[in-house]
């Protein structure tokens, strides 16, 4: 699944990160750890930090600098109003695509089963 999973995830990672932040504010490492806990083991921190910069520039998150015991302050991200709207749009789009893909999958299974039974 490796390469195909990576390619598919590229298109959805922003929505996935917004969904994580909908649960509670978090900093980059926490987001990466939660993704890994969810089975996305190949995600690297650099990918998440680059994504966080982009969504911050888009105004989808609010950022608060929180003092850290180890080094410079941490940036803690939380969803902004625009981020919540973007997340709602992501879920609508996801539902639409998932339904259509499932329809394709089901119709392909049905047509394969019908073809298999024709010679019987």
DSSP count for the chain of H helices, then E strands: 4, 2
The tokens for 76 are: 């803690």
What local confidence, expressed as pLDDT, does residue 41 receive? Answer: 84
CB of 103 closer than 8 Å to CB of 84 = no
What local confidence, expressed as pLDDT, does residue 31 receive? Answer: 96
List strand residue ranges (DSSP E) for the chain, in order.
61-66, 74-79
What local confidence, expressed as pLDDT, does residue 114 receive? Answer: 65
What local confidence, expressed as pLDDT, does residue 88 receive? Answer: 98
Which residue's entry shows tokens 């039974």?
A: 117
> What is the distance between the alpha carbons of residues 64 and 7, in angstroms, rounded to a whole number?
31
- The one-digit pLDDT tens for each residue of the chain (120 residues) are 567 877 888 889 999 999 999 999 999 999 999 999 999 888 888 999 999 999 999 999 999 999 988 889 999 999 999 999 999 999 999 999 999 999 998 887 767 676 555 554
What local confidence, expressed as pLDDT, does residue 23 receive? Answer: 95
First to last CA, the chain: 35
Q: Is 65 left (phi over 0), alpha (psi -120 to 50) or beta?
A: beta
Going by C-beta distance under 8 Å and a sequence separation of 6 or more, which residues neighbour residue 15?
86, 87, 90, 91, 94
């Amino acid at each position: 699944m490796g390469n195909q999973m990576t390619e598919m995830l590229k298109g959805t990672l922003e929505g996935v990160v917004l969904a994580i932040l909908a649960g509670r504010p978090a900093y980059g490492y926490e987001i990466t750890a939660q993704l890994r806990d969810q089975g996305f083991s190949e995600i690297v921190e650099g990918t998440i930090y680059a994504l966080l910069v982009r969504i911050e520039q888009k105004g989808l998150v609010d950022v608060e600098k929180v003092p850290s015991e180890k080094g410079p302050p941490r940036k803690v991200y939380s969803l902004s109003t625009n981020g919540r709207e973007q997340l709602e749009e992501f879920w609508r789009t996801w539902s639409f695509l998932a339904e259509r893909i499932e329809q394709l999958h089901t119709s392909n299974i049905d047509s394969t089963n019908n073809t298999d039974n024709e010679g019987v």
